[in-house]
A and B are shown apart, each in its own frame.
Chain A
Amino acid sequence: MELFGIYDVVVVGGGTEGVSAAIASARAGASTLLIERLGALGGQMNVQGPPGFAYAHMFNPRGEQVIAGIVEETHNRLLKDGHALPHLKPQWRAGYTFSYVDPDWWGLLMFEMMQENHVNLLLHSLAVDVVKEGNTVRGVIVENTSGRQLVMGKVFIDCTGEGDLSVMAGVPYEKRALEQLMRPSIAFTVDGVDWDVVLKYIKDNPKEFEFRTHPYLKMSDEEMWKQIKAIKKIEEIGNIPDGWFSITEKGVKNGEMHEFGTIGCFLTPREGGVIQAHFQHSAHVPNCDGTDVRDLTYGEVESRRQAVMAWKFIKKSIPGFEKAYITRVTPELRVRETRRIMCDYKMTEEDIAAARKFKDVIGKDEYQAGGQHMKHSTMLDPKAIYAKDGGSTDIPYRCMVPLNVEGMLVAGKPICTDESTIKRFIVSTMVTGQAAGVAAAVCAKKGVTPRQLEKDVSEVQDILQKQGAILYGTH
């Protein structure tokens, strides 16, 4: 076996948390390697996605900005280049703000940022094992076209999305039962939509859509629809959630539409003001555990069957989509939920409800607990728990320090939370990614372990703020 190289910080997984971790680590002065399974960086943003809310949820219901750092920096940069929409903050949606970016240009930007920040890349490489010395992770083993290699580092960050590296290292985890796991999706993007027709149908048929207002707002449905009816351009709507109920119901009844997803779309902005529709709720695979290769294979097959059926139905039955055409089908499933890695602190729904602040804050999040994908795509967990006073919750550093092992951090959706608090949204994964990157770089520099750093995270917080992260001063 060959030694590929020795680095201060090794980030495993080049999805949304991994790219943030790598950039942040390199900026904090560490020699950094980012390892990715595929040839593209970006994961759920531009390979398996984007998810609908990409970007979104950068503001809490009070309108305070709670997320910045690399998320804001990249949004700004893409906006200036004509590859993003400005922050959309429809009043009636409160916390549901949208800051859409063009996923393909976001992906190109990531590669540019890797170069600018001197992140070392190792693409097309699957991490298959870890090397430990006692309880300390010292290396990761990868397989790729060159064979099997060992990568050594001072600190490793598990950005695999499913906590693969943590599990290889022996960290305990939680995972809900197979039938309770949120369902993975194949998404597709379409062009040629007649948005005027779509918008008119929405305005004429308010009962056919489920636009939820945030409870903090206490806005009546009448007032909400008054505002929706005043919309001039489709992007003002943010997204079109779960809707076209009567049409869909009829389609399911006569066998033209499947029962596993719903019809609703998000927006994908393209150069020159073009808006495409992005369907990522129209294929949902039940009983699919993304950490079991048989399930994962089945999911890829089943979700495509659903996507084909849904698209034929949409084109035939949804006003405004008659002449639309698919321009892109995501190559892989976006996995919503698998493991949560157990760490020194577990975030809970009580923390969310209390909009709790932590001394070791490394970032914020305004999304509620619960509100997860259930049987139908947007049939959300009824027990959604919102942060009090329209505020937001701190994410503590200790959520990223895995139990039982040293020399390792975890970022992204497997960070330590209870099952209803899972931090799977893109913005949260980038916030924890950025923080893990800085923390790893500080550990490498000081020669301490991520766990030892828990005693005093002030340097991490200072650097994060210098990198533009928002840690303080919001509800």
Chain B
Amino acid sequence: MQLYGEYDVVVVGGGTSGVAAAIASARAGANTLLIERVGVLGGQMNYSGPPGFSYAHFFNLLGEQIIGGIMQETHTRLLNEGHALPHIRPEFRGSYTFSYVDPDWWGLMIFEMMTENGVNLLLHSLAVDVLKEGDAVKGIIVENTSGRQVILGKVVIDCTGEGDICVRAGAPYNKLPREELQPHTLSFTADGVDWDKALNYIKENPDEFSFERFLNNPFLKWTKEQLIERIKNIKDITEMGEIMGYYSLRDAAMAKGEWHEFSGVGFFLIPREGGVIQAHFQHSSQVPNCDPTDVRDLTYGEIECRRQIVIAWKFIRKYMPGFENAYITRVCPELRIRESGRVVGDYILTTKDVLESRKFKDVIGKSAFPAGGHHIATTDTLTSGQGEGGYPRDGGSHDIPYRCLVTKNVENLLVAGKAISTDRDAYHRFLQQTMVTGQAAGVAAALCAKKGITPRQLEKDVSELQKILVKQGAILYGTH
């Protein structure tokens, strides 16, 4: 086996958490390696996605901006180059604000940022094992076209999304049984939509869409009539942000076997150069009973989702007003994994923390996303998010504490992205959350490498970490 190299910080996984971690680590002065399984960086944004909310949720219900850092920096950069839409903040949507970027240009920009920041890359490489000395991770073993190699690092960040490195290193990990996991999805993008016609149908048939859920926002003191009136005044599809519904069309088609039973009908938007808006379907296939850490399930999921999207697309073109001449321009190559397990860290972020907009001394970022509200593989698409979940009660946002990124039982290891330590309803799987925790983990790892301490030892005093994050544009203080 060959020694590939020795680094201060080794980031495993080049998805949204990994790219943020690598940039932040390199900026904080660490010699950084980013390892990615495929040839492209970006994961759920531009490879297996984007998810609908990309970007989104920069603001809380009160309208305060709670996410900055690499998210805001990249949004601004793409906006300046004509590859993004400005922050879209319809008042009736509460914290469902949208800050759409062109995923393909986002991917190209991320490569530019790796070069600009001097991040070392190792692409086309699958991490298959960890090297440990006692409880401490010392390196990662990868397989690729050149064979098997070992990479040594002072601190390793698990950005695999599924906590693969943590599990292989022996960190505790919670995963729901297969049948309770959220379904995964394969998305596709379509062009050639007649937006005037599509928008007209939506405005003329508001009851066919899921607008009433906006009234769940306790800070929006509107009647249903006011909401409908506002929707009827929408001039441009981008004000809509996203659409979910077409109930009658869907149910009629389902009765004829022209829609499948695994998801509802709806779409998000993708901005392209020169003001073109494409429709992005990422709820039109959902595969249940699929554990992404089991390769047989993962294989089955890839097959099943493609079966569903072919049915879905035929429906869309045949029945959805405005989509008669639309055409698919891109099918994602791989499933976007909504849920696997969560690593157990030194703190487990709880649903109560979210509901109470809890602030922590070791804050490394914020989130305003409601707790609960998971996907289910039925035409409802989502569970209601009621019960334990819901919005932060004061309309604010909660802090994400550093300790959620520090795995129990294992040293020299941080976790970022959707596998960080939370309870199930506080699951931090959303793109903006993964980039916030990625950026924080990158800075923390760089600091640990510089000081010669472990991520757990850093818990005693995170002030330098916070100072660097703030300098990198992150928002840590001053919001509800």
Contacting residues, chain A, for B79 (C-beta < 8 A): none
Contact present for B294 and A128 (CB under 8 Å): no
* B298 and A107 form a contact (CB under 8 A): no
> Which residues of A lie under 8 Å from residue B234 when comparing CB positions?
none
Nearest-neighbor residue (CB-CB) of B122 within chain A: A297
In the complex, are the beta carbons of A122 and B299 less than 8 A apart? yes
The chain A residue with its CB closest to the CB of B39 is: A332
What B residues does A188 contact at CB under 8 A? 104
Q: How far is the CA of A114 from the CA of B131 in the complex (A)?
A: 39
B interface, over-half SS? mixed
Structural contact, B303 and A114, CB atoms closer than 8 A: yes
Do residues A111 and B327 form an inter-chain contact, with CB atoms below 8 A? Answer: no
Q: Please measure, in the bound complex, the distance between the C-alpha atom of A297 and the C-alpha atom of B128, giving whole angstroms.
A: 18
Q: Which of A162, A270, A293, A307 has the most CB of B within 10 A?
A: A293
Of the residues B115, B273, B335, contact of A326 by C-beta under 8 Å: B273
Task: Indicate with 1 or 0, residue by residue over A25-58, a CB within 8 angstroms of chain B CB atoms.
Answer: 0000000000000111000001110000000000
Give chain A's interface secondary structure class.
mixed
Question: From B147, which residue of chain A is reached at the shortest CB distance?
Answer: A128
Q: With A108-B310, A293-B125 as known contacts, state yes or no: A146 contacts B143, CB within 8 Å.
A: no
A332 with B38: CB separation less than 8 A: yes
- What's the minimum C-beta distance from A246 to chain B, rounded to whole angstroms? 25
Which A residues are in CB contact (< 8 Å) with B335?
Answer: 39
Q: Are B328 and A105 in contact (CB under 8 A)?
A: yes
A219 at the interface (CB under 8 A from B): no
Q: How far is the CB of B158 from chain A (nearest CB, A)?
A: 14
A414 → B minimal CB distance (Å): 13
Query: A425–B279 Cα gap in the complex (Å)?
Result: 33
Contact residues, A293-345 vs B (CB, 8 A):
293-294, 296-297, 300-301, 304-305, 307-308, 315, 323-329, 331-333
Q: In the complex, which residue of chain A has the Cβ closest to the Cβ of B332?
A: A40
**B39, B128, B327, B329: which has the most chain A beta carbons within 10 Å?**
B39
Report A16 CB to chain B, min CB distance, Å. Answer: 15
Residue of A nearest to B310 (CB): A108
Contacting pair A145 B276 (CB below 8 A): no
A residues near B123, Cβ cutoff 8 Å:
293, 296-297, 300
Contact status of A270 and B299, CB under 8 A, knowing A128-B143, A331-B38: no
- Is A452 in the interface zone, CB < 8 Å from B? no
The minimal Cβ–Cβ distance linking A292 to chain B, given in whole angstroms, is: 6
Contact with A along B97-134 (1 / 0, CB 8 A): 00000101101100110110000011111101000000
Tell me how far the C-beta of B442 lies from the nearest C-beta in chain A, rounded to whole angstroms.
Answer: 19
- List the B residue with the shortest CB-CB distance to A160: B145
Q: Confirm or deny: B40 has a beta carbon within 8 angstroms of a beta carbon on chain A.
A: yes
Given known contacts A123-B298, A145-B162, A296-B145, A305 and B105 CB-to-CB distance under 8 angstroms: no
Interface centre among B47, B121, B299 (most CB of A within 10 A): B299
Distance between Cα atoms of A300 and B299 in the complex (Å):
26
Q: How far is the CA of A376 from the CA of B310 in the complex (A)?
A: 40
Report how far A276 CA is from B302 CA in the complex, Å: 27
By the criterion CB–CB under 8 Å, are B295 and A291 in contact?
A: no
Q: Closest CB-CB distance, B138 to chain A, in whole Å?
A: 20
Distance of A125 Cα from B143 Cα, bound (Å): 11
Kindly list chain B residues whose C-beta atoms are within 8 Å of the C-beta of A291.
145-146
CA distance A126 to B38 in the complex (A): 11
Cα distance A301–B34 when bound, in Å? 13
Query: Are A104 and B299 in contact (CB-based, < 8 A)?
Result: no
A104 and B334 contacting across the interface, CB-CB below 8 Å: no
A115 within 8 A of B: yes
For A389, the chain B residues whose CB sits under 8 A away are: none
Indicate the size class of the contact surface on chain B. Answer: 35 or more
B372 CB within 8 Å of chain A: no
C-alpha spacing A98/B80, complex, angstroms: 40
Which one of A46, A128, A272, A301 lies within 8 Å of B325 (CB-CB)? A272
Which of B108, B124, B276, B326 is within 8 Å of A304, CB to CB?
Answer: B108
**Are the CB atoms of A325 and B330 closer together than 8 Å?**
no
| B111 touching A305, Cβ below 8 Å | yes
Determine how close the nearest CB of chain A comes to the CB of B78; give it in whole angstroms.
13
**In the complex, B148 has a CB within 8 A of chain A:** yes
Minimum CB–CB distance for A344 against chain B, Å: 26
- Inter-chain contacts of B111 with A (CB < 8 A): 300-301, 304-305
How near does chain A come to B128, taking the closest CB pair, in angstroms? 5
Q: Considering the complex, which residues of chain B in the window 273-306 have a beta carbon less than 8 Å from any beta carbon of chain A?
A: 273-274, 276, 278, 292-296, 298-299, 302-303, 306
Bound Cα distance from A260 to B299, whole angstroms: 38
Beyond A145-B292, A293-B145, A297-B124, is A327–B40 a contact (Cβ under 8 Å)? no
Task: Please provide the chain A residues from 125 to 146 with a CB less than 8 Å away from any CB of chain B in the complex.
Answer: 125-126, 128, 143-146
A336 to chain B, nearest CB (A): 15
Is A241 at the interface (CB under 8 A from chain B)? no
Q: A142: nearest residue on chain B (CB-CB)?
A: B295
CB distance from A76 to the nearest CB of B (A): 18
* A274 to B46 Cα, complex, angstroms: 24
A224 within 8 A of B: no
- Residue A210, interface by CB 8 Å: no
Interface centre among A107, A122, A146, A323 (most CB of B within 10 A): A146
> Closest B-chain residue to A126, C-beta based?
B126
User: Complex Cα distance A290/B39, Å?
Assistant: 12
Q: Which residue in A124, A143, A315, A327 is a CB contact (below 8 Å) of B191?
A: A327
Q: Provide a sorted-by-A list of 27 A–B residue pairs whose CB atoms are within 8 angstroms.
A: A39-B298, A46-B333, A105-B328, A107-B331, A111-B303, A112-B307, A115-B303, A121-B303, A122-B295, A122-B299, A128-B128, A144-B298, A145-B162, A145-B294, A148-B128, A271-B327, A290-B145, A293-B125, A296-B144, A297-B124, A300-B39, A300-B123, A300-B124, A301-B114, A305-B115, A331-B40, A332-B38
The 3 closest A-B pairs by CB, nearest first: A332-B39, A39-B334, A325-B273
